[in-house]
Chain A
Amino acid sequence: MAPLIVNEIISPDTNLLLALLIGIGFGFVLESSGFSSSRKMVGVFYGYDTTVLKVFFTGAITAIMGILFLSLFGLVQMDYLYIHPTYMTSAILGGVVMGGGFLLGGYCPGTAFSAIAIGKIDGMLFMVGMFIGVFLFAEGYPLWEGVYKANFMGTTTMNEILDIPRGVFALGLILIALAMFWVGEWAEKKFPREEY
């Protein structure tokens, strides 16, 4: 049955309209969770506000379990879903550079859009920086194309490299997330700050 677009249940134009609606849901969740505030975002690295940790991992677990159940009941064909490809060198490098950007800028791209929508000027400046950063990468592309494409591992998944069933990996991740939530709740009590 799903994905609807691949099985031609909806037209490409309807797909774009639904992308808009999905975006509205995404933006609403980001803003109402407090991600339009950089001080709330970065709080996770200082322990005074671990909202990012809780929302991010609850979201990941919900999506992972949802996809597991949908495919179990035959409602979604896993083969048609886009799996993020793994280029190991570039995945590590990207993570490190983005981590720096997150800490200095106080946002990630999605949350910066939600901050801009409610009038945060720092969010707008972050976005200006984003455009510069992507443009610099594009212009210098021949310089780092080799690194960008190094160590390609295809669409490998965690359960494949660990050689365990998907469900077992999901269960493990849920337990790790619960442990992190517990640490997060503890940290918020230990490093209390007023709500921003």
Chain B
Amino acid sequence: MSEVKKSKYINPYIGGVLLGLVILAAFFISGRGIGASGAIKSAIVTTVNTVAPTHAENNWFYEEYNASHANPMKSWLVFEIIGVLIGAFISGAYWKRLKLKVEHSPKISSKRRLIFAVIGGILFGFGSQFGRGCASGACLSGMSLLSVGSFVTMIFMFGTAFIFAYIFRKNYI
């Protein structure tokens, strides 16, 4: 039974090489790295532009973004993220992992897992703006070109999580 249930994942080092090649392709073709949080920012700015256009003109954050982006949704990252959803779906379908579920440690309830997921998302969303990108954009892609800020953000991101990991062990182990 356990043999049948066991999920199959590719070798992590091969996965890493493939990930590196994806980043290389992005730089080679588009002159930029991969990302994720930027697409969320595009969606937020577009929503505010549509729902509250006057507000978007009065807040510097939206103003600065709109000044440099003609159409926020017709952006590289938005197309890339649509691709991520498709690619992950194909992989999930191939290895038979498509299933609507809440994944959590048996020691905690689904509700607790979901509450923590939202809190974690809020922190990550907020932090990704200070970091000018997330783990993929600010850290991984920036590190590819040896950006100092990327190395600093990466070290503080993994470092903070590592330091506080023990407190939240029940959530995962």
Contact = CB atoms under 8 A, between A and B. Distances in A.
A118 B84 CA distance: 11
Contacts, number: 543
Given A33-B10, A95-B160, A153 B148 contact: yes
A130 B145 contact: no
A156 B98 contact: no
A84 B142 contact: yes
A10 B150 CA distance: 29
B29 A20 contact: no
A96 B138 CA distance: 13
Contact of B12 (A16, A33, A123): A33
Nearest to B129: A137
Contact of A97 (B12, B35, B86, B130): B130
A106 B62 CA distance: 29
A130 B29 contact: no
Interface residues of B, number: 123
Interface string A121-144: 111011111111111111101101
B88 A31 contact: yes
Interface residues of A, number: 133
A130 B124 contact: yes
Contacts of B15: 29, 32-33, 51, 54-55, 58
Contacts of A75: 28
B53 interface: no
A134 B123 contact: no
Nearest to A3: B31
A171 interface: no
Most buried by B among A63, A122, A195: A63
Nearest to B141: A84
Interface of B: 2, 6-7, 9-10, 12-13, 15-37, 40-41, 43-45, 48, 59-62, 74, 76-77, 79-92, 94-95, 97-105, 113-114, 116-138, 140-162, 164-165, 168-169, 171-173
9 contacts: A28-B91, A38-B103, A40-B9, A60-B144, A63-B20, A66-B20, A84-B137, A118-B92, A129-B122
